[in-house]
Structures are given as structure tokens and as C-alpha cells.
Amino acid sequence: MFQDSVDPAMLRHHGDVEARPGMLDFAVNVRGVAPPAWLRDRLAARLDDLGRYPSAEDEAAARAAVAARHGRTPDEVLLLAGAAEGFAMLPRLAPRLAAVIHPSFTEPELALREAGIQVTRVILERPYTLDPALVPEDADLVVLGNPTNPTSVLHPAATIQALRRPGRLVVVDEAFADAVMPDPAELTVQAEPESLAALSAPDVLVLRSLTKTWALAGLRCGYALGAPEVLARLAHGRPHWPLGTLQLEAIVATAAPSAVVESHHDARLIAAERAAMIDRLTALGIDVHTPASGPFLLLRVPDGELVRKRLADRGIAVRRADTFPGLSPDHLRVAVRGTAEVDRLIDGLRAVLW
């Protein structure tokens, strides 16, 4: 049922507003404060090209690099100015009824509602396990995240595929898929547990982001993977040169096999840091939702809103999670960070909880 009572301000909320300059940032899931040196060098080498419009050759090279990275063909790749642009395009598919599985990232629902699309929420109860039977049969567009922001739940690919129906398009937000620890036995660059990025199907659309793993939030880079006819509908009416030269260069660079290997290494580091954080937070008596697979954790803390504000007073930013449908003010999301940063978080929590 269309929900007129939904507060758009809640759907628009993002963690970046929690992290003021100078704060210790657990609110935003970007890894690091700047891209790695080799990537900065690649981008800097293209600065002299900014006096020219982005070339068709650069655009084709970026699509080819992404296609090779996921075992797809270039016509199954649509380059995006961040995954958020892909969410903004979803209304162009003109669904009759869109089902958004929550708790999850709110941009898709916001874009659909603002376009007047009828939206129904499928809110999962803890442990936030996906049940395809909960989705209305007449929903011709289904949107979900994997791994899901903010729960850090990784849904099995087979369960996601069980959502497929004749006349329905399944949209999977895989913004954090490259941060999931790969199977050590799987050495191919496509190896990402439970990802559908390599699935060539007419009814599955996958959205990916490069901004989190590579600290490129200010550059806006991403892409969609899907059937050419679906991508054409998404791109209809798009302006000329939708991505700039530096965005295209970043996409080529981070799709290279060496960069994918680096992202796999970082995913293993994230897994180790996440496990250590879970142990330390639970030792404080904090309810941490597990199992967790993403570069963030969902916490439940009594008087969570007060805890968040008191942490902010101590210069520590954490993300309020009550803006995600299905969660309460006692829920907070924290990014996975290294030992030194977690030391400060633990000290801050001790101070504000007791």
C-alpha cells in the first residue's frame, strides 16, 4: 500500500551529516580519507585532459574494463555517477508496484516515491533474513541490498534469485559487495560471495559503487549491470557526457585485475577488524547484530539517541539508524575501523554508558 505518512527527510538522511570536520568518523562507510597513492597518481595524470570533453574511447574503455571484471559484455554495463544515480533512474522503468526490502538503504525508495511510483515496504524482522514469500506477488520491481546497509546481512544468491517472477525486475544494490571477504579457494577476479554481478539475466539489475572501497565519495563513480534493453530504459533522456574524464579513469583503474586483488586483500582486513570490533563491543554489553558481512555493524543500545549525541560531544560520530525503516532510535550503525580508532570508540562508549 502507498504510504503517504512517510517522512522524506528520514529517507534523505545520510551518515555524512553526522560527521563534522575533525570528528572521529564511524558514521560514514568510506574506507580511508583519500584514494590509495597509485589511484591518485592515475587520476592526476589525466588532469591535463580536463580541457577536452570526455571521449567516446574513454567511455568504451571503462565499459570494457567493467565487463571484463565481471565476466559480462560491454553492452551489459551502464556507467554511473555513483550508485545513487542508478537509484534515481529507477522510476524510468515505470513499475506498477515497487517492493523495497527493509531495513536497507533508503535512496531507492525515496526516488520511487518522489516520482509517484506506488511503493510497498517489506520489513524484515531480526535476524533480517530474506523470505521471498513476503514480497507481494504483484510487485513488478523488487529492490534490496546485498550485503544490506545497515544490518550487514549477506543474503544467499539463491534466495535472491527466488524473488524472480515473470514480468518482475529484481534490483540488487551491491554497493558493498567488494568489501565482503572472498572465498580463499576462489582466485578469480569475479570471486565475491553471493554476488549476482556475473549473472546475465533479463530480469536482474545489479548496481555497484566504487566510492566506498576506494575512498572516492567526492568523485561519484559506479555502474549498473543488466540486460541492454533494461539499461537503455534507465539511460533514456540522460545528458551528453554523463561522466567526466576522471570518473571514467577511476572506473578503468579500479576494474583492473591488480586493483581487484587489492580489494580482496582489503576485504580480508575488514573481516578481521570487524571480528575484533564485535568482540570488544559485546564485551561492553552492547547488542551487535551478527552474523555481519559488510564494512559496518548494526548496534542496539538503550537510549541510543542520547548515546549518539554524547559520543558526538566527545568528537566521535556514529550513524543514527532509526531513519532506516524497521529500526528504532536505539539502533546505531558504526563503520568497521582499525584498532586505534576502535580504542577511542570503546573509551567513549564506556564514558557515556556509565
Cβ distance 12 to 332 under 8 Å?
no
N residues, the chain: 354
pLDDT of residue 184: 67
Cβ distance 70 to 197 under 8 Å?
yes
d(CA 23, CA 11): 24
75-79, 187-191, 202-206, 283-287: lowest mean pLDDT where?
187-191
Mean pLDDT (whole number) for 53-76? 97
Q: What percent of the chain has pLDDT over 90?
A: 88
Q: Report whether pLDDT(2) > 60.
A: no
Q: What structural domains does the chain harbor?
A: 8-34+260-353 (3.90.1150.10), 37-256 (3.40.640.10)
Chain segment 231-263, per-residue pLDDT in tens: 999 999 999 999 999 999 999 999 999 999 999
Element (H, E) at 21: none
Given phi > 0 = left and psi -120 to 50 = alpha, else beta, which region is 318? Answer: beta
Q: Report whether pLDDT(107) > 60.
A: yes
Q: Is the preceding peptide bond at 136 cis, omega within 30 degrees of 0?
A: no
d(CA 113, CA 10): 13
Q: Report whether pLDDT(5) > 70.
A: no
17-21, 166-170, 187-191: lowest mean pLDDT where?
187-191
Chain segment 144-165, per-residue pLDDT in tens: 999 999 999 999 999 999 999 9
Count CA within 13 A, CB hemisphere, residue 138.
6
Mean pLDDT (whole number) for 23-28? 94
Q: Give 320's strand partners.
A: 332
Question: pTM value?
Answer: 0.94
**Residue spans of alpha helices (H) in 151-198:** 157-161
pLDDT of residue 9: 80
d(CA 40, CA 49): 15
Question: In this structure, what is the dihedral angle of CA atoms 181, 272, 82, 289, given to the nearest 10 degrees?
Answer: 90
Question: Residue 187 — pLDDT band, cuts 50, 70, 90?
Answer: low
